[in-house]
Amino acid sequence: MKLSHPHADIYVPSGEDPSAALDRVTHLCIAAHQDDIEILAYDAICDCLDDPQNKAFAGVVVTDGGGSPRTGSYAQFTDEQMKNIRRQEQRDAARLGSYAIQLQLAHPSAEVKKSPSPALAADLAALFARCAPEVVYLHNPADKHDTHVAVFLRTLEALRALPAERRPKRVLGGEVWRDLDWLVDADKVALDSGRRPDLALALLQVFDSQITGGKRYDLAAAGRRLAHATFHTSHTTDRLQGITWAMDLTPLVNDPTPDIATFTLAHLDRLRADIATRLTRFL
Ligand SMILES: [Zn+2]
């Protein structure tokens, strides 16, 4: 598979041929940065580990990771050095999680935010020509990180361009920046991120340049998953040990006509109605 950027990286932990690895993929996550996959799609990684005969996970990181904040032992690192470290950390995560394949497309963030973004569009078209996952995990359109939203939009464009028979059965938008606890319960998709707690921690701690660099994503993601599981229902005990919330984006892919902003803001309308109804009942 030919990728656009000269620094793009294809890593197959098992050592098998990349085309063979892509053929097996059933669960695919396309995210903006190194470590986003492990925060938003841990449930998919576990699903594939639980059923390795029938399921295989692929991770795609779209940007080059050059602009990340850095302190401590990484404070003096150049952008180029940070890109190399983050590329290696993502490879380490793919190995730990037994991903079928890990792609790092290495596009600059500024390029991804442009519409159209021809180099990224070509990479995504090449990916979906090789690989037909059942479930695709993306950033959600209400995320508050500009690059996350841009990557979501570019990927949605690629999915909508596929013939109907090549589209995934399910497309989910997971939480990273700004969580999805605000969705009304009927709009929430609960991703089970309470499995294999040691692996969950290891998959986040492998990104040492971020954690030592001053952001405790490892503790924050674990805390959020536990909080979601506990605060989901007030009258029953916790069914899952950890939850990552997702928005079901399948309707946006099955039917290419709905306006993305209207679809997203309708979730807020339902939240507004939920709050108003409860208040009205007890006032
Ligand atoms: Zn990110």
User: Average pLDDT in the 60-85 region?
Assistant: 87
Residue 208 alpha carbon to ligand 1 centre in Å: 15
Give the pLDDT score at 75: 82
Residue 234 has pLDDT above 80, yes or no: no
Residue 60 alpha carbon to ligand 1 centre in Å: 12
Residue 32 alpha carbon to ligand 1 centre in Å: 5
Tokens standing for 141?
């359109």
User: Average pLDDT in the 185-203 region?
Assistant: 97
Residue 228 has pLDDT above 80, yes or no: yes
Residue 51 alpha carbon to ligand 1 centre in Å: 28
Q: Does residue 79 or residue 72 have the better pLDDT?
A: 79
User: Average pLDDT in the 111-139 region?
Assistant: 97
Please give all residues whose CB falls under 5 A of ion ligand 1, grouped by chain where several chains appear. 32-33, 36
Tokens standing for 266?
């309708």
* Closest C-alpha to 193, from 203, 185, 184: 203
* Closest C-alpha to 68, from 28, 96, 33: 33
Contact 193, 244 (CB under 8 A): yes
Residue 72 is given by DSSP the state: G
pLDDT digit string, tens, across residues 237-252:
778 999 999 999 999 9
Residue 9 has pLDDT above 90, yes or no: yes
Residues whose CB is less than 8 angstroms from the CB of residue 226 and which lie 6 or more positions away in sequence, other chains included: 194, 241, 242
Strand partners, 31: 61
Residue 202 has pLDDT above 90, yes or no: yes
Element spanning 139, H or E: strand 135-139
Tokens standing for 44?
């998919």
Write down the mean pLDDT value for the chain.
Answer: 95
Residue 76: band (very low, low, confident or very high) from pLDDT cuts 50, 70, 90: confident
Residue 219 alpha carbon to ligand 1 centre in Å: 16
Query: For 226, phi and psi rounded to 5 degrees?
Result: -65, -45
Orientation angle between helical segments 118-130 and 146-160, nearest 10 degrees: 50
Residue 10 has pLDDT above 90, yes or no: yes
Residue 67 has pLDDT above 90, yes or no: no
**Angle at the Cα of 55 (from 65 to 174), degrees rounded to 5?**
45
Residue 19 alpha carbon to ligand 1 centre in Å: 27
Contact 46, 195 (CB under 8 A): yes
* Closest C-alpha to 214, from 70, 38, 81: 70
